[in-house]
Amino acid sequence: MLDEFATEDETLSRRDRKSRLTGRKVLIGFVILLLAGVAVVGGFGVYLGSIVARNVTTERDMLPSSQPTREDGTAYEIPETDTGMNILFTGADTRPGDVGRSDVVVLAHITEDRSKVYLTHFPRDLYVDIPGHGKNKINASYAFGGTSLLVETLQNLLGIKIDHVAKTDFDGFKRMTDAVGGVRVYAEEASSRGGIEQGWNDLDGERALIFVRERYELSQGDISRGFRQQAFIKALMLKALSRETVTNPITLAKFVDAATQNLVVDEGLNLNEMRKVALSMTGIRGDDVIFITAPFTGFGTAADGGAIEIVDEAKMDRLGHSMRTDTMETYTDARTTP
């Protein structure tokens, strides 16, 4: 049985004790956007393409063959056109002793007109229905059946079609930051580790890694850490797509190399598809990247005693409808960062 909602203090304490929100993860999947630099540097794209082709691995059966269905078995009606593009990114923090509790589940919705990107983080302990396995934490779907089952679980939860999937690890994070000469990130609150000050901070790879991992010194634990990581994602994305980066062949090559190492994608997300998506998004700017945390109503305890997040069914339905119909601008629980 699920317990009643915890008090605010109990909730924050629980988050500090257990790393509970996937918002704490840094998304490496936006590498797809980085190939937009090919449009600026012309023929140099051939060399960049050779880096991607060398580093990126394609894998079969990362996507399920089944269509999204509700818990009662009925199928969702999904429009065939004008639905935008959905790409799932998944991975893990590779720090010693931290593997297994730092799963990344981030769903990117790219609008049909390629004018905006919505990045939705799914808490790893979100309690959902997993096809063939009953109710469990959403990250258990990967343990049960790899990316294919995780995709199927999300498709059924939201009533959408996921077009592509990519998985990676945390190792390239520091290299990406250093490759672009560091990033300037806004911190909503200070923390002593790494010397992070409230306000703007110029971070190299080492300090950036500390910045996005910190939670114990922050007022809201993993929620605050999630906000930090959203701010970092935006800063790194904009730096990678800046004229300063894309017009410097050496910097761009270093960044693409760092971003694509250890990246595994489905067979449909080949180099040509990456180029096509990236080149259609060269107009993306900071305000066009919107962050969302998948809706949940509070914390509970599963029958086995594990701590879980309880799905907000009504808001999840609205989120799914907004993705399915490419009307994400109507979804209100969105967040931007400085």
Tell me which CATH code domain 20-179+248-321 carries. Answer: 3.30.420.590
Q: What is the pLDDT of residues 260-289, one digit of tens each?
A: 887 889 999 887 787 788 777 777 777 788
* Contacts (Cβ under 8 Å, ≥6 apart) of 104: 22, 25, 27, 89, 90, 91, 92
> Would you say the pTM of this structure is higher than 0.85?
no
What pLDDT sits at residue 267? 92
Give how far Cα 110 sits from Cα of 19, 86, 320, 328, Å: 28, 6, 14, 10
φ/ψ of 124, rounded to 5, equals -65, -25
- DSSP assignment, residue 189? S
Q: What is the pLDDT of residues 172-223, one digit of tens each?
A: 678 889 999 999 999 999 999 999 999 999 999 999 989 988 878 988 766 6
Name the CA radius of gyration of the chain, rounded.
Answer: 19
Does residue 231 contact residue 185 with C-beta atoms inside 8 Å?
Answer: yes
- Stretches in the chain below the pLDDT threshold 70: 1-45, 92-103, 169-172, 221-223, 335-337
Q: What is the pLDDT of residues 100-116, one digit of tens each?
A: 433 578 899 999 999 99
3-state secondary structure of 44: helix
| Torsion over CA: 79, 81, 84, 88 (sign) | positive
Nearest-angstrom CA–CA distance, 166 and 155: 16
What pLDDT sits at residue 170? 63
φ/ψ of 183, rounded to 5, equals -135, 155
Mean pLDDT, the chain, whole residue set? 80
Q: Helix H segments across 136-290? A: 140-158, 172-179, 205-213, 222-240, 243-246, 249-260, 271-279
